[in-house]
């Protein structure tokens, strides 16, 4: 009789335990204090299931699941960040300091001080096995021909260092 009372609790616990999916946000943590050596290298699509969660593709937002990123050294603590998104026909290079500071898990390189400057922003993540993942976007500045108004097109990427 006691066994019959405990069995439903054991079954419920088992269902809850085995039905939980692995949460990628817990697997990947910010890489605080990363160095240029941590991010220099070749990156390709991460395959993380929720990489582009909450983003909708449009003419202003491209989801680059085919992004190829190569990062190399440029001067003292500088980076050259090259991105290619073949499906979106987008290729750019950004060179500058990665702007470590309070957000020392973030790469942010702006092409110039112009308010319409192109830029790249990437969050740097790591996991327990020491892999490096970048999640962010490259921003392209454009001008509407008819109105001469500036606007941006973002190319979102989520890549892992190979």
pLDDT in tens, 46-64: 999 999 999 999 999 999 9
Determine the Cα angle at 50 with ends 66 and 107, to 5°: 65
Q: What is the pTM of this model?
A: 0.81
pLDDT for the residue 77: 74
Per-residue burial over 127-136, b if 16 or more Cβ lie within 10 Å, else e, is eeeeebbbbb
pLDDT tens string 6-27: 444 333 344 333 444 444 458 9
Which residues face 106 on adjacent strands? 123
């Amino acid at each position: 009789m006691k066994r019959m009372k405990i069995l439903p609790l054991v079954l419920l616990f088992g269902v809850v335990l085995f039905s939980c999916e692995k949460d990628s946000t817990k697997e990947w943590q910010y890489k605080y204090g990363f160095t240029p050596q941590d991010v220099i290298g070749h990156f390709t699509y991460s395959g993380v299931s929720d990489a582009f969660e909450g983003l909708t593709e449009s003419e202003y937002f491209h989801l680059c699941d085919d992004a190829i990123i190569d990062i190399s050294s440029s001067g003292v603590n500088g980076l050259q960040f090259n991105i290619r998104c073949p499906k979106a026909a987008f290729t750019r290079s950004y060179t500058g300091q990665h702007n470590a500071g309070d957000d020392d898990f973030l790469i942010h390189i702006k092409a110039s001080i112009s308010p319409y400057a192109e830029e790249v922003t990437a969050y740097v993540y790591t996991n327990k096995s020491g892999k490096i993942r970048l999640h962010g976007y490259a921003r392209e500045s454009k001008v509407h021909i008819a109105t001469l108004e500036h606007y941006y097109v973002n190319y979102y990427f989520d890549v892992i260092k190979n």
